[in-house]
Amino acid sequence: MKSEPLRLRHRTFVCGCAWMALLLAVHVRAEDAPRVPDFSISTPCDWYKETRQTNQWFERDQQPRQQLMAIYSRAQESGIAADPAQVKEAMALIDEADGALRKALEDLVTRCGWPSRTAFGQAAVQSAYMVVQHAPLDYQLKYLPVITAATAQGEFEKRHLALLTDRILVRQQKPQRYGTQTRVIDALGNAEMFPIEDEEAVDRLRADAGIVPVSICAYASMMNARLKRCEGP
């Protein structure tokens, strides 16, 4: 017997290095956390000691999300809706991991500043970005200025700033700019693209930001997400 379709609390997916990953659902008040220091390439911290921790963040972020995607992959292969209890359990693990990682990032930034590529290496920067990408909107807005400053100095990937920008726009109920965000539309895990600000310009914007694939239709196909302009007659 097929399960009833499941309504998810959040149905936005990450479209970065991992194939797809669910957004967290735990809300944290950004004003309760310390102020984010201005961006600096240098740091007073021991990069070796700190990166032994930060280099574990990506795996901690992705492990529960991979579990959730496996649930949806099985649902799509079988044509049977994902078990709501399994989805709920996976979402709880995602929430737990995201909350712990946000605390870890707050501690790092308070002591050492936002990790620069020069001082900490690319792996640490990517891990910190993933924490912010999967955080609540107010947390993302809190870190957006320091991330923007880091990008301007070549210390943060333009494509990652584009992904974060789209995530913020979608959460503000606005059309996304780069076409990176999708949402699940049924209990089988099928997806569609969130509305795009300018579909005629989106491929150029993706190219400028270094997003691969450049073609929005190729990306939609890769993500198995529906986009009307890319559908055949």
| Residue partners of 182: CB distance under 8 A and separation at least 6 | 12, 13, 15, 20, 191, 192, 193, 194, 220, 223, 225
Q: What is the mean pLDDT of residues 205-222?
A: 96
**Is the pLDDT confidence value at 115 over 80?**
yes
> Is the pLDDT higher at 229 or at 129?
129
Is the pTM of the predicted complex or chain greater than 0.85?
Answer: no
Encode pLDDT of 135-179 as tens digits. Answer: 999 999 999 999 999 999 999 999 999 999 999 999 999 999 999
**Is the pLDDT confidence value at 7 over 80?**
no
In percent, how much of the chain has pLDDT > 90? 79
Encode pLDDT of 204-213 as tens digits. Answer: 999 999 999 9
Which pLDDT score, from 0 to 100, does residue 29 have? 47
**Is the pLDDT confidence value at 21 over 80?**
no
C-alpha span between 8 and 35 (Å, rounded):
32
The two three-digit tokens of residue 67, written as one number: 């579990």
The two three-digit tokens of residue 188, written as one number: 């089988």
Encode pLDDT of 172-200 as tens digits. Answer: 999 999 999 999 898 888 899 999 999 99
Residue among 18, 14, 105 nearest 54 (CA): 105
